[in-house]
A and B are shown apart, each in its own frame.
Chain A
């Protein structure tokens, strides 16, 4: 036992050699594989609500990671590229609203790490950088993000603690919360969930509420980035879907999971993006793979079992949303967080198209209920 302790203690020294990174793996990866197969085994549904690949698995694995990094730089997929390019400017508007003193940074789903770099750089330039803890389902993504995020920064390797785990599971969040508190004590932490990642989850509000409840202490802040829409009619929904459909690299990215977990012969023409209006809260975009071969196919899954994939049946590869103002506000109230700062960036949409944008919010915990005392200004 003593021997092993010592080995762990030697890690900071090992990390001085730039080739090594540590990664804490927070859950059984084989269990994850069972989750993917369960999603793909669901019954036939031609409307896109049957078989699916849930959020984290679109990015899990090396192929998906590489495909995602390519999609982020695709000229035909400007949403992500512009969101990354404008991030440091948008972040600057909010950074004054952070608590004083050193700050630790926990990035939930760091992706390619470019935004983390902008954020860490701004903290570093003021000498306020604490620990950097990127959290992702994908180990490959973590390594990529870490390398990108820490370029030319003065964060000691021993202050960087990548964690591989699925943050959409309550039990994982309990353990992540404990790990973070043990690492940073009572010092404030900034969490981030950027790049409209929240919109990838079926129960987005519940996820945000869960993250806030399990992770946020009064001294902590949460940086949330979501895509937004001014219009919420059918035309806007179609335009939103179009945005995804145009990019070949994005198509490669969404199908990379299919390539990994099934033996499907992928035909890019079978990929469609559907835009729907989700009440008054959001435009919902489903990226769907449809069997258009005219005959039933068999899918072989990673556990070698086979699943029927009848003609016109679908696999939902990705879910995304663009939130309306009311939708976003309601979600924040339901998740019991309050907005401390906000910047809004109008997107690149053509002048005659619907106005899509990106909203960056700095949130603090708070149940949103009003205090009961008399208020002379009410």
Chain B
């Protein structure tokens, strides 16, 4: 990568705005030094075009970013609601009197993945959310993989009931995997409700899981 490649987006944004502002300054100066009536049109038109460019580029970019962020937040809120339901009732402990191998539901993470890779939270100020989403994503991934292993183990060979119960107990143990996930989920919810509770997000979070 050359020097250009290493420069950040902020640098280019600043450079563009600086150039446009400089051009605008020149137009204003041009307006003051122009003599004839007709000579005023050109700097005025250029000046207006430059103002449009400055506000347009900046504001449109901001509005688009906000839009994408809102979409990402809606998707995150919807996913959170579904996961809340799963973590609430989807992992009921096995019946101790008739333990049987079962297929567990998987926790969802596509909205989290999308939110992370789309970069909508890459601007400063979203560091906490991004860090939390990464932790949540890793935990979900890890948990789902353990569920794969559990099903593989319990479906491929005949497993005695005590073993099924032992696996189930380990999963539900206080401070165990499920507990950890529930805690992380609550922190995500807390953050969404607190700092990102725009109307659309709040409505979605209110839906019963």
User: Interface on A for B, CB 8 Å cutoff?
Assistant: 97, 99-100, 340, 364, 366, 370-371, 373-378
Contact = CB atoms under 8 A, between A and B. Distances in A.
Given A373-B153, A376-B153, A97 B166 contact: no
Interface in B80-104: 96-97
Nearest to A219: B97
B91 to A, nearest CB: 11
B interface, size bucket: 10 to 19
A100 B96 CA distance: 12
B97 A371 contact: no
Q: By DSSP majority rule, is chain B's interface helix, strand, loop, or mixed?
A: helix
29 contacts: A97-B96, A97-B97, A100-B97, A340-B96, A364-B96, A366-B162, A371-B160, A371-B162, A371-B163, A371-B166, A373-B159, A373-B163, A373-B166, A375-B163, A375-B166, A376-B146, A376-B147, A376-B149, A376-B150, A376-B153, A377-B146, A377-B150, A377-B167, A377-B170, A377-B171, A377-B173, A377-B176, A377-B177, A378-B170
B142 to A, nearest CB: 10
Contacts of B150: 376-377
A340 B98 CA distance: 13
A293 B140 CA distance: 75
Nearest to B167: A375
A333 B185 CA distance: 35
A100 B97 CA distance: 9
A100 to B, nearest CB: 8
Contacts of B147: 376
Contacts of B166: 370-371, 373, 375
A364 B165 CA distance: 13
Given A373-B163, A377-B176, 6 more contacts: A100-B97, A374-B153, A375-B170, A376-B150, A377-B170, A377-B177
A144 B185 CA distance: 57
Nearest to A362: B96
A241 to B, nearest CB: 34
A97 B170 CA distance: 20
A373 B177 CA distance: 19
Contacts of A377: 146, 150, 167, 170-171, 173, 176-177
A282 B150 CA distance: 40
A370 B146 CA distance: 19
A376 B96 contact: no
B44 to A, nearest CB: 73
Interface in B103-155: 146-147, 149-150, 153
